[in-house]
Structure formats: structure tokens, C-alpha cells
Amino acid sequence: MKIAFFDTKPYDKPSFDKFGKENGIEFKYFETKLNEDTAELANGADGVCVFVNDTVNAKVIDRLCELGVKAIALRCAGFNNVDMKYAYGKIHVLRVPAYSPYAVAEHAMAMLLTSIRRIHKAYIRTRDFNFSLVNMTGFDLHGKTVGVIGTGRIGRVFIDICKGFGMKVLAYDKFPAKDLQNAEYTTLDEIFRQSDIISLHCPLTEETYHMIDEESLEKCKKGVVIINTSRGALVDAEALLSGIKNKKVGAACLDVYEEESELFFEDYSGHIMQDDTLARLISMPNVIVTSHQAFLTEEALYNIAETTVNNLVDIFKNGSCPNELCYKGGVAEDCKSGKCF
């Protein structure tokens, strides 16, 4: 089995080489992202392996099918970069629904603590032997209200972490879990109205696009902290920037950004930043931006590779895969039968 692997980074190879070798899969690694111009690189491959910023639109899908590619293996949980409606019946789309919810949830809390306790500023100061505590005052998490939007695996782990800090947790999910503990379900409006901190752990859909915008921020408490480790377009970056400037938003912790596809995972330190909105966000003293690294732990990389390889083995050798995405019902969801078409 030959798989064309796009958007390759050095940390991808060890785990994929290990599991590939064990299962008779040969990965051909490409540093370039998959798009209409690079789809030709998949010539001779049985499948492609792609990540969050690869483009899998109708034209790419058509070209992959022309080249004989039978499967698209997403090495991530999200699939908003894939035209699932167009893919249905043409090419199998597989994903990794869970790799390490702890990695992402812990990163969200790490960003929050770093921000509110000024850890990043303290590090810079003490490196210059500046031990002043002026403008370093933070606040306790204990007793604060956190609103968690999305109560899947990651959201639940984040809820547990917040409860460990003695926080009151409000939750919202379009499909509430019957067995949710440590949190109280409420409406989005109540999340915005009551929360001192709002953390996003939901997928990007038409409904959730720009969930955090000018209107929703207007409903929030003054000084609200926004955390996004999910998908960049959940937050209207211009509205967030405006909220920071007028002091409605007290801090923002962003591991994702809505226009990240041409920026994140790359080194632009020697270049002029062309994205003015991102440049202004990064320049704000109360904003922390990390470049989509919440998933990046040894455990997560191992699990991602193992599940992706198992998905490929299942679809090519067994003819079905429990992690195949299906569009039978007019919406993309995990295939209940294990065989979408």
C-alpha cells in the first residue's frame, strides 16, 4: 500500500514510519500542502494522508479520483477542510476522532494560566534580571465561572481540569451529553452573560462559524477571557481585536486563527507579516498566540499515527472502517455501519 503524505513535518515521520512498516504501508512524504496544484504528487498512490490546512475541495477530489486514489486519511479529528458532500460516493474519507483529549485540554489550561498569571511576561523580565512585580497582578481561578462550549472528549477533560481549580462550570452543546458531570448545561446567551472565561471545544460548522463575534462579545462580561484551541473561524478575529481594544475582552488565548492555513506550522521570522489582523493580535499585551500546537505531545503523535494506519488497513484490507466519515444523511458524521458506500 502506497500513501502520499502531505504537509509533512519532522515530528510526523517517526510514528508513521513505525506503524507503516509494521503494516506494509509505504509513506511518501511531501512537505507541500495538498491543493489543486499539488494533487498530481499523489500519482501512483493508493491513498493520501492530509492534515488540517490541506485543501480537499471538489477539484482536488476529482483529480485524486482520476489518479486512482481510493482514500483520504485525515490525521486529525476535524474535517472542515474536506468537501464531504462532494466526496460522498467517490472517495473514502477517514479521520482520527480522538488522539489525546488531554493534550488539547491541558494546553488550553496552560495558556489560560500563562495569561492570567503573566508567566510569559515574568519569563522575559527575569531573563533581563528585571525582578519588578509592577503590572504583574493576576487573578485566582478559584470561584470564577468558566463557560465551556462543546462537551466532547476534549471539552469534558477541560471541564474536569477546571473543577480541580474550584471553578464553576457552565456548558453548552447542541447535543448535550446525558452523563455529563461537573458542569451545568445552559444556553449560549447564559454562557456569554455569566462567564468570566469562555473556552471553545466545538467543531467548525455553518452554525458555529464566527460564534464569537461582535454581537456575542457585547453580551459578555467586561474583561472576559476567550480561549480557542479548536478551529480558528469560530472566532471573528476583527471582532475579537475590537473587543480587546475597547477592553471588553480582558485576554485572549489562541492556538488557532481563522486565516492560519498559509502561516501556521511555518517559520516566517525573517519576513514581514502580511496579515495585519494577526500582527495586531500578537502585538497586544493580553493576547497569547500559539501556532496550532495544542495536539503536539508524544502520546498524541503516537495515537494519531496508530489510528491513521489502522484506518487505512481497515478500508483497504477489510473493506470497512469505523472511523470513515459518511454523508448519507446529508450531514457528515462517523459511519455507523463502518462502510459509507
Report which of 165, 72, 80, 187 is spatially closest to residue 116, judged by C-alpha positions.
Answer: 165
Identify the DSSP state of 34. P
Is 292 assigned a catalytic role? Answer: yes
Q: Exactly one of 156, 292, 306, 324 is catalytic; which is it? A: 292
Q: Exactly one of 107, 153, 156, 260 is catalytic; which is it? A: 260
Q: Alpha carbon 63 to chain centroid distance?
A: 27
**Would you tell me how many other CB atoms lie within 10 Å of the CB of residue 313?**
17
Residue 3, phi then psi, degrees to nearest 5:
-125, 125
Strand, coil or helix: 334: strand
Q: Are 95 and 330 in contact (CB under 8 A)?
A: no
Q: Where are the beta strands (DSSP E) in 207-338?
A: 224-228, 249-254, 287-289, 324-326, 333-334
Q: Exactly one of 231, 258, 306, 324 is catalytic; which is it? A: 231
Q: Are 29 and 269 in contact (CB under 8 A)?
A: no
Is 333 assigned a catalytic role? Answer: no
Which single residue is written with the C-alpha cell 488539547? 104
Which residues pair with residue 49 across a beta bridge? 5, 73
Is 231 assigned a catalytic role? Answer: yes
**Would you tell me how many other CB atoms lie within 10 Å of the CB of residue 156?**
22
Residue numbers annotated as active site: 231, 260, 292
